[in-house]
Copies of this chain bind each other. A is one copy, B any other.
Amino acid sequence: MNNVQLWIVGSIGIDAIETPGEKRADLLGGSVTYACAAASFFTPVGAVGVVGSDFPAAFLERYRRFGIDLAGLQTRPGETFRWSGVYEADFINRRTLDTRLGVFGDFSPELPETFRDAPFVLLGNISPSLQLHVLDQARGQPFVVVDTMDLWIRIARPELVQVIRRANLLTLNDSEARLLTGHHNLLACARAVLEMGPQFVVIKKGEHGAMLCSKQGFALIPAFPVEQVVDPTGAGDCFAGAFMGYLAQTRVRRIDEPLLRRALLHGSVVASFGVEAFSTERLEKLERSEINSRVDALRSMSALE
């Protein structure tokens, strides 16, 4: 059995989503799902998550077709986490209609032996105490990326601050950055995050791209302009999964800014494909050559001189 280069912990869910264009139920979702699918284009990746006894075998088959290592997937008696939400006309703002935690409510992530030495770790959006619990099972000095959300900033700030202190890179969106730091200006937000410990922070701005900040400086990562957004769910997870997969693929242990820029560009591109269909449906048809073409296109769109 091969050891994975990257493992990703987070939620696995069955989603019901309504967009201005369409209404779909029983969709494979969750941060682990999107992030692992996106990472799988670049590197062997392992999923750490929990599903209920109702989780369809067909969904497991979809993970396997991405080549995702499921050694860290627990199946527990009970219902899989379910989320339903509706997007406004802008395809950005969304309202949660219903959340049923199911087996996710008692999730205690366990890291398989074959994951423990992986050099790259993505702590996807779950409670900071679970992020800490699973990170404590890793060995060596992995490059740790932490994602989070407004809920944890509000209700679990002390634990979140502990996770952030152990992160090499924190990724969060603009409104979360403002909520976490109390600043409005994103440069001020970024500086405040760097003070908390990480070497790098990536502030995601959705269709406007992302900003990479370190003590050395700033980089602007464009988003690929998508013609037809079908479902934006999981875009941030695809972004993080793909850039981590790209980093892991390079096998470079010294992560610097130029390498991160390239990795984030690939994350941006994979996310742009992800939103072109519900769930991981677009990623299932995606070819590595399509990623490369869009990376080239985005580079040429953004070329200044």
Pair A305/B219 contact, Cβ less than 8 Å: no
Task: Say yes or no for A251: interface residue by CB 8 A criterion.
Answer: no
This protein's copies in its complex? 2
Q: Tell me if A184 is interfacial: C-beta within 8 Å of chain B.
A: yes
Asked whether A225 is an interface residue with its Cβ less than 8 Å from the other chain, the reply is yes
* Interface residues in A67-119 (C-beta closer than 8 Å to B): 89-91
Q: Which of A200-214 contact B (CB under 8 A)?
A: 205, 208-209, 211
Q: For residue A188, which residues in chain B have a CB less than 8 angstroms away from its CB?
A: 227
Q: CB distance B208 to A218 under 8 Å? A: no
Q: Which residues of B contact A265 (CB under 8 A)?
A: 304
CB distance B302 to A302 under 8 Å? yes
Q: A285-305 toward B: CB 8 Å interface, digit per residue (1/0)?
A: 000000000000011011111
- Asked whether, in the complex, the Cβ of A227 is within 8 Å of the Cβ of B185, the reply is yes
Q: Does A187 contact B (CB under 8 A)?
A: yes
Bound complex: CA of A302 vs CA of B91, how far in Å?
A: 26
From residue 224 to 268 of chain A, which have CB atoms closer than 8 A to chain B? 225-229, 261-262, 265
Count residues of chain A with CB under 8 A from any CB of chain B. 33
Residues of chain B with a CB closer than 8 A to A222's CB: 220, 222, 302, 304
For the complex, give the distance between the alpha carbons of A302 and B185 in Å.
Answer: 19
Are B186 and A301 closer than 8 Å at their CB atoms?
Answer: no
CB-CB nearest in chain B for A91: B184
Indicate whether A225 sits within 8 Å of B218 (C-beta atoms), given known contacts A184-B89, A305-B262: yes
Give the residue name and chain of the B residue nearest to A221 (CB).
B304
Question: A217 at interface (Cβ–Cβ under 8 A)?
Answer: yes
CB-CB under 8 A from A301, the residues of chain B are 217-220
Shortest Cβ gap from A208 to chain B (Å): 4
* Pairwise interchain contact A228-B304, C-beta atoms closer than 8 A: no
Q: Which of chain B's residues has its CB closest to A295's CB? A: B304
For A302, the closest partner residue in chain B by CB is B220
Given contacts A219-B301, A302-B304, contact A225 B187 (CB under 8 A): yes
Contacts of A229 in B (CB 8 A): 185
Contact A208:B208 (CB < 8 A) given known A220-B222, A228-B185, A229-B185? yes
Q: Which chain B residues border A217 with CB–CB below 8 Å?
A: 301
Return chain B residues, CB-CB under 8 Å to A91. 184
Nearest chain B residue, comparing its CB with the CB of A229: B185
Question: Which 7 residue pairs of A and B lie closest in terms of their CB atoms, listed nearest first?
Answer: A208-B208, A299-B304, A220-B222, A220-B302, A220-B301, A218-B301, A187-B225
